[in-house]
Amino acid sequence: MRYSAFKVIWNGLGGNRGWKPVWRNPQPRSRYDVIIIGGGGHGLATAYYLAKKYGVTNVAVLERGYLGGGNVGRNTTVVRANYMLDGNSQFYSHSLKLWETLAQELNYNVMLSQRGCLMLAHSDGQMDAMARRGNMIHMQGDDAELWEAATVRRHLPYLDFDNARFPIRGGLMQWRAGTARHDAVAWGFARGADRLGVDLIQNCAVTGFHIRNGRVLGVETTRGTIAADKVGMTVAGRSSEVGQMAGLRLPIESHVLQAFVTEGLKPLIDTVVSFGMGHFYISQSDKGGLVYGGDLDGYNSYAQRGNLPMVEHVAEAGMALMPMLGKARMLRSWGGIMDMTMDGSPIIDKTPIEGLYFNGGWCYGGFKAVPGSGDVFAHLIATGRSHEVAEKYRIDRFQTGDLIDEEGTGATPNLH
Amino acid sequence: MRINCPLCGARDSREFHYRGSAKLIDRPLPEQGRAAMFDYVYIRDNPAGVTRELWHHRNGCRAWLVVARDTTSHKILSVELAADRGRVRS
């Protein structure tokens, strides 16, 4: 069923009994052309673009739990393209452009709200760095405005400008950045892929790979053996675990990142703000909750939950930036497992095993990358060549020295 | 999390700095070649389960510790002084 305003009204008049499930729940077949492991945002987007752009429709997405139950449902929904380094710059720019037409492309409201994203600067040095970053963003063809303190004050008067330790000197605004409805992105891609003939198979965990003479032949799952010519991994958070089944040794650590939401409040923060000193960022959801997050807990974890010291730290950072936050009651906190690579940038590449493709290492940046990642990964799987905006995301860049270290912190995954 | 420092007793994890996998103790020698050094710097086993890792009691006795911890539950299974591990090796 194609969605439209007319359908909403028509079904509303009929007591909303006319809606149908938007994807099938098929039994896995014994063979597919392509298997995608992981039914999160990246996997579903990959399957969608494989079918839509490359006509590869004999595709299965294997999901251990339920569709969109991992990080695509656990993130803080920020979409932006304010990266600086060659490699990241063109990729996130590409992804943001796909975001802008995604609702029309999928005929599904992903609720993209281009409300802007402001990165604050707290020293003259940081202002210089912001100016440089802004110029680089212009060169990649995206928008950025360097704001002096007075401009920030006009837009966000409630920040603590004269904080003794971290006074606000200005910031870098990207207006085309913003937020989107995270679940809707997964559901939209799932519906789109299903309509094009992709089998979305839930409750189907991959337990091993069939590899012979350096070539992947299929996967072993909790629902039987499934053969495939090509297998793509999109299991960020669990890349090491799944990769190990295929004998891959990866430059990745899994860490826990917590996120928080307050009770619903009246409209208050009309953009995304990030604190340049405390690694704290915040936006307001359409329901009214203030959604915010900060640093990783710092130690390797697969637990999908963090500990209280980071809850306290993030709350402190929030209060330092925005003292009024102290009046809001925190409703929930949760954790997601981040695939932290050794340089803080993702990997989208072939592997040494023929027919096995890797997409992972998304660190903090997975959500905004969903459409771009799906598009370029589908390109890689269908054509065997990297998409031009993702050709720096090589799996061997750690050996060749072509790192993409946006934070400049070196091989310390917990600091990216 | 509380970490049972062999010198100071059970202390809040906020007193400690996390360094990463305990494999970092075993830095390869130059004659072992580039592949060994690449593996040491960049590759991690990253297990979902028990892992051995380095914690530094930065705001305490400043000893480096080797902690065995379950990454799926955050449960700490054992703590020993990294210096003792080093002596066993040499």
Task: Enumerate the domain spans of chain B.
Answer: 2-84
pLDDT per position as a tens digit, A308-367: 999 999 999 999 999 999 999 999 999 999 999 999 999 999 999 999 999 999 998 899
- Confidence band of B86 (pLDDT split at 50, 70, 90): low
Residue A277: what pLDDT?
85
Q: Which of A316, A341, A366 corresponds to the end of one domain?
A: A341
Mean pLDDT of A260-284: 94
Handedness of CA A214, A216, A217, A221 (dihedral sign): positive
Restricting to A residues 243-282, those with a Cβ less than 8 Å away from any Cβ of B are: 244, 249-254
pLDDT at A278: 81
pLDDT at B90 over 60: no
- The pLDDT tens digits for A23-36 are 999 999 999 999 99
What's the whole-number mean pLDDT along residues A115-142? Answer: 96
Among the candidates A341, A366, A400, a domain finishes at: A341
The whole domain housing A274 covers 117-178+253-341
Q: Is A302 on the interface with B (CB under 8 A)?
A: yes
User: Does position B17 have pLDDT exceeding 60, yes or no?
Assistant: yes
**Domain tally, chain A:** 2
Nearest CA in chain B to A304: B72
Is A11 inside a domain boundary?
A: no
| CATH number of the domain bearing residue A351 | 3.50.50.60
Which residues of B make CB contacts under 8 Å with A? 1, 12-14, 18, 20-21, 38-39, 41-48, 51, 53, 69, 71-74
The last residue of one of the domains, among A341, A362, A377, is A341
Residue B87 pLDDT > 80, yes or no?
no
Do A124 and A240 reside in the same domain of the chain? no
Buried b (16+ CB within 10 A) or exposed e, A262-287: beebeeebebbbbbbbbbbbbbbbee
Q: Is the pLDDT of residue B84 over 90?
A: no
Six token digits for residue B76: 């700490």
Q: State which fold the B2-84 domain adopts.
A: Folate-binding fold (3.30.2270)
Same domain, A353 and A209: yes
Same domain, A258 and A326: yes
Residues A261, A334 share a domain? yes
* Average pLDDT of chain A, as a whole number: 96
* One domain for residues A192 and A305: no
CATH number, residue A288: 3.30.9.10
How much is the mean pLDDT over chain B?
A: 93
Asked whether the ipTM of the predicted complex exceeds the cut of 0.85, the reply is yes
Average pLDDT on A292-299 reads 95
Q: Do B45 and A240 touch (CB under 8 A)?
A: yes
Cα–Cα distance measured from residue A238 to residue A202, given in angstroms and rounded to the nearest whole number: 17
Does any domain span residue A379?
Answer: yes
Q: Is the pLDDT of residue B89 over 60?
A: no
Q: Is residue A6 part of a domain?
A: no
Kindly state the DSSP code that residue A354 receives in the 8-state scheme.
B
pLDDT of residue A416: 85
Supply the DSSP symbol for A278. Answer: T
Burial class (CB in 10 A: 0-12, 13-18, 19+), A111: middle
- Chain B CA closest to residue A400: B38
Give the orientation angle of helix A182-195 with respect to helix A366-383, to 10 degrees. 20
A355 CB within 8 Å of a chain B CB: no
Looking at the fold, whether A260 and A404 belong to one and the same domain comes out as no
Paired tokens of A140: 């990649």
Place of tokens 């992972």: A360
